[in-house]
Amino acid sequence: MKNQVQLITYVDRMGGGDIASLRQWLKGPMQGVFGGVHLLPFFYPIDGADAGFDPIDHTQVDPRLGDWSDILALSQDTEVMADVIVNHVSADSPQFLDYSERGDASPYAGMFLTLDAVFPDGANERSLLKVYRPRPGLPLHCVQLKNGQKKILWTTFTPKQLDIDVQHPEGRAYLDSILQRFAASGIRMVRLDAAGYAIKKAGDNCFMMPETFDFIAEFAGRAKALGIEVLVEIHSYFQRQIEIARQVDWVYDFALPPLALHAFFFKTAEPLKRWIAQRPCNALTVLDTHDGIGIIDIGADGADRVGSPGLVPPAELDALVERIHSLSQGQSRQATGAAASNLDLYQVNCTFYDALGRDDCRYLLARALQFFLPGVPQVYYVGLLAGHNDMELLSRTGVGRDINRHRYDAAEVELALRRPVVQSLVQLIRLRNAHPAFTGTFELLPSSAQALHMRWRTGIHEARLSVDFETLAHELFFSGNGEAGVEGAGRLIRYPQ
């Protein structure tokens, strides 16, 4: 993967509305800004129960966006990442419709996980409550097939997203067909969505077990044979994330967004520095994605009976959440937890810009921090445009995450790109992509409790970032042509083109 900033976006929510238009935008006004693009689900259909994460046909591009030739053309201009939704398929998929019609006589019968398949000797209350859940309730849904049979199906997320047996021949063939289609279309990077839940085992918590790691390693091997790198998406206790990173190509640094907010809110860099000292470097750094702001990633280990502590104390974590609600004028509260459907027990739904109270200085400093950490930065399309919470979309759908999934038309994109905060962000991205220092060695330098000092060096080239989270005084320095930029509190430098 190229060591440059990536864009992560829905194809239909960023201006033109299709793949060809996105390609022209990246080649036009965004030429040279992004080293790659992660296309969020573009499969048929993009407007199912979970914004494309419940595909009917994972090997078909939604025709409203284009076709595989458009993906191939885009991949010839820039690196393309796509999602492999390994845990589930849509209840409207051809495979499940065949199973519903023919029941146990269907070749796909074993592809869909039932309660009996996971618990052949029966399940009791204790064993079911042990299963780790990302949302309230049990991961089960009772259905009556069209042939009259009744089944209790495993549904980790919603009743429309049916968990598959990734070890069954049909489940394996299904996932292989996706990889082959991607490889033929120029996709060289995949994110394994919901991979942590892919293996179920009676008597265990069914989340990131040793068997799950085995599956991820085996799947990654099949992907690598096709020339595809693998990113694993896991929201979990921070120590577990470190363990996962040792066994995969890439992970997300999901601890960074809440820790950055914590630094600004509590005017201390200590938890952030402790994380920087131990975080995995094979990470994609993010401040925002299509999901919410992770909380579980810096909290105590809820699965550990001895209560392994988090990166911040529980009281500060609660206060952090309340501060987001306050700075967003209560909007995030309306989109989080029991206030909205599509519940997530571990996330606050809010744009990162609104989580910082629309403060341009803090927002740009957070982005500079993101870009300075080792790894490959990803910028979400709403974050690129310093977007506001979409309360109208939230009201219309009732889905909490939609607060951060605004549909921009071309005029909105053009207008947003003229805002000073967005122009400064684009300049930061260009610096991160082009400056030689970021190919060298990273150092976390000594500093006071409220400050953070970081440096990159290679040969004669150097880049430094210093931030005082109490006063917001900051220095951003980079070598080149004898020029350096130094600014005080309130604004970041504008870089010479």
Contact 423, 417 (CB under 8 A): yes
Identify the residue whose tokens are 């001895």.
Answer: 306
Alpha carbons 372 and 438: distance in angstroms, whole number:
8
Domain ranges of the chain: 6-86+169-438, 94-162
Q: Which of 68, 89, 73, 92 is nearest to 26 (CA)?
A: 73
Contact 74, 115 (CB under 8 A): no
Checking DSSP bridges between strand 461-468 and strand 451-458, what pairing results, if any?
Answer: antiparallel
| Residue 60: count of CB within 10 angstroms of its CB | 15
254 secondary structure, DSSP code: T
Contact 290, 401 (CB under 8 A): yes
Q: Left (φ > 0), alpha (ψ -120 to 50) or beta: where does 493 sit?
A: beta
Alpha carbons 245 and 497: distance in angstroms, whole number:
36
Q: Left (φ > 0), alpha (ψ -120 to 50) or beta: where does 230 sit?
A: beta
Q: Which of 366, 382, 192, 230 is nearest to 285 (CA)?
A: 366
Looking at the domain covering 6-86+169-438, what would its CATH class be? Answer: alpha beta
pLDDT at 336: 85
Choice among 18, 62, 79, 233 that is catalytic: 233
Q: Which of 235, 244, 241 is nearest to 216 (CA)?
A: 244
Q: Which of 8, 42, 41 is nearest to 26 (CA)?
A: 8
pLDDT at position 305 over 80:
no
The structure tokens listed for 408 are 């921009």
User: Can you give the length of the chain in residues?
Assistant: 497
Is 233 part of the annotated catalytic residue set? Answer: yes
Choice among 193, 249, 253, 297 that is catalytic: 193
Average pLDDT over residues 291-297: 89
Q: Using omega within 30 degrees of 0 as the cis cutoff, is the peptide bond preceding 45 cis?
A: yes
Q: Which residues contact 167 (CB under 8 A, 6 or more apart)?
A: 199, 215
Alpha carbons 82 and 72: distance in angstroms, whole number:
12
Terminal-residue alpha carbon distance, the chain? 26
pLDDT at position 155 over 80:
yes
Alpha carbons 460 and 437: distance in angstroms, whole number:
9
105 burial level (CB within 10 Å; 0-12, 13-18, 19+): exposed
Contact 165, 171 (CB under 8 A): yes
pTM here is 0.92
pLDDT at 236: 83
Q: Which of 387, 396, 318 is nearest to 358 (CA)?
A: 387
Contact 231, 189 (CB under 8 A): yes
Alpha carbons 270 and 450: distance in angstroms, whole number:
7
Give the SS3 label for residue 277.
Answer: coil
For 225-284, how does the pLDDT look when each residue is reduced to its tens digit (9 = 90+)? 999 999 998 888 898 889 888 888 899 999 999 999 999 999 999 999 999 999 999 999
9 secondary structure, DSSP code: E
CATH assignment, 94-162: 3.90.400.10
For 117-141, how does the pLDDT look when each residue is reduced to its tens digit (9 = 90+)? 999 999 999 999 999 887 778 999 9
For 7-38, how does the pLDDT look when each residue is reduced to its tens digit (9 = 90+)? 999 999 998 889 999 999 999 989 989 999 99
| DSSP per-residue string spanning 71-110 | HHHHHHHSEEEEEEE-SEEETTSHHHHHHHHHGGGSTTGG
For 377-397, how does the pLDDT look when each residue is reduced to its tens digit (9 = 90+)? 999 999 999 999 999 999 999
